[in-house]
Structure 1
Amino acid sequence: MEYEPHEPEAHGSDLAAEEVSAGRGPDAAEVALVARAVSGDRDAISDVVRVLQDPIYRLALRMVWRPADAEDATQEILLRVAGNLASWRGEAKLLTWAYRVGVNYLLNLKRQSPQEATQVSLDEFGESLKDGLAAEDYRGPEAELLTHETRLNCTQAMLQCLAREERVAYVLSEVFGLSSAEAAWIADTTPAAHRKRLERAKKRLGNFLTKACGLANPQAFCRCSRRVEKAIDLGRVDPRRPAFASHPVTPGGRDVAEAERQMIRLHDAAAIIGGHPDYAAPQAKIDAIAGILHSGRFSLLD
């Protein structure tokens, strides 16, 4: 089926002044790259996708939980970005603008995760962690790897218990480290509304982690190493194909070990939930995007 980009997004001007004053606006090389892509330069289009693919994949992964779903969302977002490049006016860095396109898509995506589909609250999720909690640490095959996998899977599940608007606010500000002005512009809201969503998300996650998570509070009941067997039984962890702990990372990015060291060093809610490797978008999906862009059916290159 031929891909038809959506109508260009509307853009505001408030962020432009904030980004320029903070030195975060687009540079000349970025502007030139987009100009070449809009003119139909296939190599420039590929370069735009290459620059954006990993950050957009990490955004999608934090919103939809499962890598397979994140891959599909990433493909759709990148195609929308490529199809609407002519609407980018340099009001923000290219990645910030791409995040805006991505958040718009992800907020309207059909619910996919079990947590979202059944609207599981953090309290309900916390109670479920008590069921099947082992008395001792898991010591089976690949114990360290599967403990990492359980932790990474659990923090993904925590995020799914938040309303999408709160999840977006938390991921953009606490995980990606964007300012309130940037995050509000990306989510098409006001900085004040963004801060309220962020505060709600931080309070809910903080309360949950203090009550349930041994990483955040040594007095809490749950330990990743004691949830491994139950997670395997429930099908949330596949010992043959760990989805997160063995996921490819961006060249030079944090791997699982470095992310965990950083998490332990900072030891707060944001560090625990942000303690994922710098995941790379799967190459097969990127190759598929390139195939669509270069198929002769993509309007930007007609």
Structure 2
Amino acid sequence: MNDKLKILVEKANSGDKKSLEKVVIEIKDLVYNLALKMLLIPEEAKDATQEILIKVITHLGTFNYKSQFKTWVYRVATNYLLTHKEKKSLVFSMSFDEYSILIDSCQSDVVHYTQNEGELSLLEEEVKVSCTQGLLMCLNSVDRMVYVLSEILEFDSIEGAKILDITPENFRKKLSRARAKIRNFLNNKCGLVNSNNPCRCSKKIDFLINQDIINPKELRFAQHSKRSIDLISKIKLLEDTVSVYQTVPNFKTPEAIIKEIQKVIHAVNF
């Protein structure tokens, strides 16, 4: 644990609410982005993040300083996300075969929704992130968490096993299985990974809008300043199937969450 964060945690555990707020600021984005990768839907990730942060601040006294604090936070977060029920995101869960059919359906060489280059750029990015994040939903929740921790967040099997409270050997087995499924799908379907595949993000824009999977007036993932699609071709050292995910930018935690957590901190004696 870096000295700054350790001091903040120690002060927070001694009752310093300002330090507790700073601890939350340090970890909020990692919690939100993990929730987003596991739950897909930003609105649900927002609710989960708030619940996880409350669990962190109310159980902070149980942190024993023997591990990295952020590793402990990830463990709290994974425990919540793997047991969280009634997920709206389950609507998007499907088998790899079903997802394959969705990918192959209704590809169009012409985008009818708009010809504006700026809009097209954003919509193409929205499709890319939505599609690849949606693919993770084809994995069961534990395998998905293992894949996210290892391939996207780059935890090794020892740290990943600690977070999930399993053996490193079991972690590696689950990772191998998840990695093979994702790699096989992307190699056979995704045009970003294999240029011989016919699918292109732009070809799915009209279909996903018509299916209400993407709302062009309220984009969930696309950012005006960054296009992860453009970064993939620049990454030479990563396997393409990994770069599809690692190029996705981290998203800022909605400010509304921080305001609610601040209310909790100031209203309750810890």
CA distance in 2, matches of 1:162, 1:60: 15
How many residues align? The count is 264
Aligned match for 2:125, one of 134, 140, 148: 148
Residue 175 of structure 1 pairs with residue 139 of structure 2: no
**Residue 100 of structure 1 aligns with which residue?**
75
Residues 131-167 of structure 1 deviation map (CA, whole Å, 9 limit, x = unaligned): 1111345653411100100111111100111011111
Alpha carbon RMSD of aligned pairs, Å? Answer: 1.7
Matching residue's letter, 2:232 = M
CA distance in 1, matches of 2:229, 2:73: 28
Residue 281 of structure 1 pairs with residue 270 of structure 2: no
Change (3 A) 1:118 1:241: closer
**Residue 180 of structure 2 aligns with which residue?**
203
- TM-score, with length taken from structure 2: 0.92
Residue 265 of structure 1 pairs with residue 265 of structure 2: no
| TM superposition shift of 1:118 | 7.1
Matching residue's letter, 1:125 = Y
| TM superposition shift of 1:262 | 3.4
Residue 134 of structure 1 pairs with residue 103 of structure 2: no
Residue 81 of structure 1 pairs with residue 50 of structure 2: no
| TM superposition shift of 1:117 | 4.4
**Residue 195 of structure 2 aligns with which residue?**
218
Q: Is the 8 A contact 1:119 1:161 kept in 2?
A: yes
Q: What is the aligned-residue identity percentage?
A: 34
Comparing 33-42 and 133-142, the one that deviates more: 133-142
**Residue 226 of structure 2 aligns with which residue?**
256
CA distance in 1, matches of 2:33, 2:82: 15
Residues 99-154 of structure 1 deviation map (CA, whole Å, 9 limit, x = unaligned): 0000000000115245x347511121011121111134565341110010011111
CA distance in 1, matches of 2:186, 2:2: 40
Structure 1 residues not aligned, in runs of 5+: 1-25, 248-254
Q: Is the 8 A contact 2:231 2:247 kept in 1?
A: yes
Q: What SS class does the counterpart of residue 256 from structure 1 fall into? A: coil
- Higher helix share goes to which structure? 2
Matching residue's letter, 1:173 = S
Aligned match for 2:29, one of 43, 46, 54: 54
Q: What SS class does the counterpart of residue 149 from structure 1 fall into? A: helix
CA distance in 2, matches of 1:81, 1:278: 21
Matching residue's letter, 1:152 = V
